[in-house]
Amino acid sequence: MSRTRLLFAPGDLRGADSVDDAALAGAIGEVESAWVTAQAAAGLVSAETRTAVTGAVDAVTWELQADAEALAGLAADAESGGNPVIPFLTQVRARLTPEAGRALHRGLTSQDVLDSALGLLVTRTITQTRARLDVITEALRSLSETHAETLCLARTLTQPALPTTFGLRVATWAAEVAEVAALTPRSDAVQVGGAAGTRAAIREFAGDRTEALLREFEVQLRGPDAALSPTPVPWHSDRVRVLTWATHFTQCVGVGSSIARNVLIGTRPEVGELALAATGGSSAMPQKTNPTVAVLLHRNGMRAPGLLATLATTGAEAVEERSDGAWHAEWPALSALMVLALSSLALLEEMVTGLSARPEAMRRNLDAAGPGIYGEKLTIVFGDRLSKDAIREILSGSGDPAERLGAALAATPGPVPDPAELEGFFGPSSYLGEAESIRETIIRTTDPTTP
């Protein structure tokens, strides 16, 4: 994400540094250094050559990350070859002797480097999203516990439905976030296939040390645990993992947007059930306090699906041993989704930790919904004694619905509950069903300490 476009999307700054041009240039440098270091470890180049190459890579990377104009120049030079790896290598080779230059990038193709570099950025992004998801889940679990007995109105298709608790509503949010965390994909992808995915050049110069070279390359990029994994196979035109990553990032954005939509509804003055600690003002109306953090989350939710669709399309368009445009179309879409995921989860954490409920408003809205929210209960309990028309009259008539229910039951065979029981029939606490049991189940199953 170019830092010059952040004014178009307030909030993206929270994720842009992790996935901007400087981060990509740094990751490309890491991959090239890892490759020559792996060659040295496998005995294919000298330690002096490794030092010369990694030093040149570090110098070019530092210049690119320190100078916005240098990055812009790299971007301009990338047009001729279609990717930034080629001009990056040109700059590094200019600092090397011919002998050292031969070790740089030897046997690789641009896609090996760019896919591995993007894999590094994805890994780092997913590390951040997973940590943030866990924090948000815990914050929602705590809020749910606080409001386990806070009554509120359940709404379906925007209309009053039944009594519920705010604790259960928040617990369902926690369940959503925890599920996204549980579905976090693996991201330890290293690409090394050579020009056409056969590793022909690598085999040619590495011979029987090819396995050791590939293993060391993976260890350099992924850490010591990679030594225990099978040797990676090329995935130049197998882009399923890219779509899997994109799906995770979209889920991070989507869960934030969904919760934000609930908050936006609850903070409307005419609803008044929720309040946010941090709100934004209006340039035209000084009396306004806007739920800006929720607005930005909702906005992100409308941006992400199109990017995911792009990556579903590029995966379907992946052909032969390297795609003619589909691979190239992945980079901006995937990087934008990473920024959105990081931005959304940072905003979501801020929103849920600053969210407060207004139980009195929740009870007011619950009471204002009228006796109609007990229609299901009447049908279940007295459906064998009262017709639908009779139930409709009880719920819609004027006066006390408990008195109308008693009168209607008195006109049918069977016992009539006493007045206190009839009044209690229309109390919201009397028709919560399994709400608390469901809430407790969610709280238990989203607790990371639960076996």
Looking at 2, 5, 268, 282, which residue is catalytic?
282
Spatial separation of the C-alpha atoms in residues 11 and 151, rounded to whole Å: 34
DSSP secondary structure, 131-173, as one string: HHHHHHHHHHHHHHHHTTT-EEEEEETTEEEEEEEHHHHHHHH
Spatial separation of the C-alpha atoms in residues 270 and 267, rounded to whole Å: 8
Place of tokens 């690409």: 191
Q: Give yes or no for a contact between 58 and 49, defined as CB atoms under 8 angstroms apart.
A: no
- Active-site residue flag, 282: yes
Overall size of the chain counted in residues: 451
Q: Which of 142, 146, 148 is nearest to 447 (CA)?
A: 142
| Dihedral sign (CA 429, 430, 435, 440) | positive
Spatial separation of the C-alpha atoms in residues 348 and 96, rounded to whole Å: 48
Q: Which two tokens stand for residue 285?
A: 């109306």
> CA dist 218 to 19, 188, 215, Å?
22, 9, 5
Report phi then psi at 80, rounded to 5: -65, -35
As to burial, measured by CB atoms within 10 angstroms (0-12 exposed, 13-18 middle, 19+ buried), residue 448 is: exposed
- Active-site residue flag, 358: no
Place of tokens 């991070």: 252
Q: Which two tokens stand for residue 53?
A: 């190459």
Looking at 3, 102, 322, 392, which residue is catalytic?
322
Q: Provide the annotated active-site residues.
A: 282, 322
